[in-house]
Amino acid sequence: MTTPLTPPRLRNDCFAMPQGVEWVPVDKALALLRARLHAVTGTEALSVAHAHGRVLAAPAVARRSNPPRPNSAVDGYGFAHAATGDGVQRLPLLPGRAAAGQPFEGAVPPGAALRILTGAILPQGVDTVVLEEDCATDGQIVAFDGPVKRAINTRQAGEDVTEGAPILPAGRVLTPADLALLSAVGLGHVQAHRRLRVAVLSTGDELLADPAGQAAPHQIFDANRPMLLALLAGWGFDAVDLGHAPDDADQIAARLDQGAQSADAVLTSGGASAGDEDHVSRLLRARGTLSSWRIAVKPGRPLALALWGGVPVFGLPGNPVAALVCALVFARPALSLLSGAGWSEPQGFVVPAAFSKRKKAGRREYLRARLTDSGQAEVFASEGSGRISGLSWASGLVELPDAACTIAPGDLVRYLPYASFGVRSGG
Ligand code: AMP
Ligand code: MG
Q: What is the pLDDT of residues 124-182, one digit of tens each?
A: 999 999 999 999 999 999 999 999 999 999 999 999 999 999 999 999 999 999 999 99
Tell me, what CATH number does 145's domain have?
2.170.190.11
Q: How many domains does the chain have?
A: 3
59 three-class SS? coil
Contact 168 CB / ligand 1 (< 6 Å): no
Q: What average pLDDT score do residues 357-377 get?
A: 96
Residue 3: pLDDT band (50, 70, 90) is low
**Does residue 209 sit in the same domain as residue 273?**
yes
Contact 222 CB / ligand 1 (< 6 Å): yes
pTM for the structure as a whole: 0.91
**Nearest 5 degrees, angle CA 218-CA 221-CA 226?**
160
- C-alpha 287 to ligand 1 mean position (Å): 23
Determine, yes or no, domain membership for 146.
Answer: yes
Are 301 and 289 contacting, i.e. CB atoms less than 8 angstroms apart?
no
**Does residue 280 sit in the same domain as residue 360?**
no
**Does residue 206 sit in the same domain as residue 301?**
yes
Determine, yes or no, domain membership for 60.
Answer: no
pLDDT (0 to 100) of residue 382: 83
Q: What average pLDDT score do residues 72-87 get?
A: 97
CA distance 107 to 93: 13
DSSP E strands, 83-217: 87-98, 113-116, 128-131, 136-137, 141-146, 154-155, 166-168, 189-193, 197-203, 207-208
Contact 270 CB / ligand 1 (< 6 Å): yes
- The rounded Cα 143 to chain-centroid distance in angstroms is 52
Residue 242 has pLDDT above 80, yes or no: yes
Q: Which atom of ligand 1 is nearest to the CA of 317?
A: 2
Determine, yes or no, domain membership for 284.
Answer: yes
Tell me, what CATH number does 225's domain have?
3.40.980.10
Conformation bin of residue 162: beta by default, left when phi > 0, alpha when psi is -120 to 50: beta
195 three-class SS? coil
Determine, yes or no, domain membership for 160.
Answer: no
**282 vs 2: which has the higher pLDDT:** 282
Instruction: Give the range of the structural domain holding residue 258, as residue numbers without chain letter.
Output: 23-42+197-339
- C-alpha 210 to ligand 2 mean position (Å): 17
Q: Which atom of ligand 1 is nearest to the CA of 206?
A: 12
CA distance 313 to 336: 14
Residues 6+ apart with CB under 8 A from 284: 290, 304, 306, 308, 313, 315
Residues 6+ apart with CB under 8 A from 254: 245
Determine, yes or no, domain membership for 166.
Answer: no
For residue range 88-103, list pLDDT tens digits in order: 999 999 999 999 999 9
**Does residue 208 sit in the same domain as residue 320?**
yes
Contact 269 CB / ligand 1 (< 6 Å): yes
pLDDT (0 to 100) of residue 2: 54
Residue 4 DSSP code: P
- C-alpha 176 to ligand 1 mean position (Å): 38
Domain boundary among 276, 304, 339: 339
Tell me, what CATH number does 363's domain have?
2.40.340.10
Neighbouring C-beta atoms of residue 13, cutoff 10 Å: 11
Residue 18 has pLDDT above 70, yes or no: no
**Does residue 80 sit in the same domain as residue 131?**
yes
Using most ligand atoms within 8 A of CB, pick from 200, 203, 269 the residue to mutate for ligand 1.
Answer: 269
For residue range 314-340, list pLDDT tens digits in order: 999 999 999 999 999 999 999 999 999
Q: What average pLDDT score do residues 12-24 get?
A: 75
**Does residue 137 sit in the same domain as residue 222?**
no
Contact 204 CB / ligand 1 (< 6 Å): yes
Residue 301 has pLDDT above 80, yes or no: no
Determine, yes or no, domain membership for 344.
Answer: no
- C-alpha 159 to ligand 1 mean position (Å): 57
Residue 4 has pLDDT above 90, yes or no: no
Conformation bin of residue 389: beta by default, left when phi > 0, alpha when psi is -120 to 50: alpha
Contact 281 CB / ligand 1 (< 6 Å): no
For ligand 1, atom 16: residue with the closest CA: 318
**13 vs 400: which has the higher pLDDT:** 400
Are 191 and 5 contacting, i.e. CB atoms less than 8 angstroms apart?
no
Alpha-carbon distances of 21 from 69, 293, 368, 398, rounded to whole Å: 62, 9, 29, 27
For ligand 1, atom 6: residue with the closest CA: 318
**Does residue 383 sit in the same domain as residue 416?**
yes
**Does residue 123 sit in the same domain as residue 223?**
no
- C-alpha 72 to ligand 1 mean position (Å): 63
**Does residue 80 sit in the same domain as residue 132?**
yes
Determine, yes or no, domain membership for 15.
Answer: no
**Does residue 290 sit in the same domain as residue 412?**
no
Domain boundary among 102, 128, 155: 155
Determine, yes or no, domain membership for 123.
Answer: yes
Residue 20: pLDDT band (50, 70, 90) is low
- C-alpha 20 to ligand 1 mean position (Å): 29
Residue 87 has pLDDT above 70, yes or no: yes
Are 380 and 313 contacting, i.e. CB atoms less than 8 angstroms apart?
no
Contact 215 CB / ligand 1 (< 6 Å): no
Are 252 and 203 contacting, i.e. CB atoms less than 8 angstroms apart?
yes
Render 248-274 in DSSP notation, one character per residue: -HHHHHHHHHHHHHH-SEEEEES--SS
**288 vs 128: which has the higher pLDDT:** 128
pLDDT (0 to 100) of residue 21: 65
- Nearest in space to 341 (alpha carbons), one of 10, 37, 12: 37
Render 278-332 in DSSP notation, one character per residue: -HHHHHHHHHS--EEEEB-EES--EEEEEEETTEEEEEE-SSHHHHHHHIIIIIH
Residue 22 has pLDDT above 80, yes or no: no
For residue range 405-423, list pLDDT tens digits in order: 999 999 999 999 999 999 9
Mean model confidence pLDDT for the chain: 94
**Does residue 364 sit in the same domain as residue 414?**
yes
**Does residue 327 sit in the same domain as residue 208?**
yes
For ligand 1, atom 11: residue with the closest CA: 318
The residue count of the chain comes to: 427
Domain boundary among 321, 339, 357: 339
CA distance 395 to 421: 11
For residue range 174-213, list pLDDT tens digits in order: 999 999 999 999 999 999 999 999 999 999 999 998 888 8
Residue 274: pLDDT band (50, 70, 90) is confident
pLDDT (0 to 100) of residue 19: 65
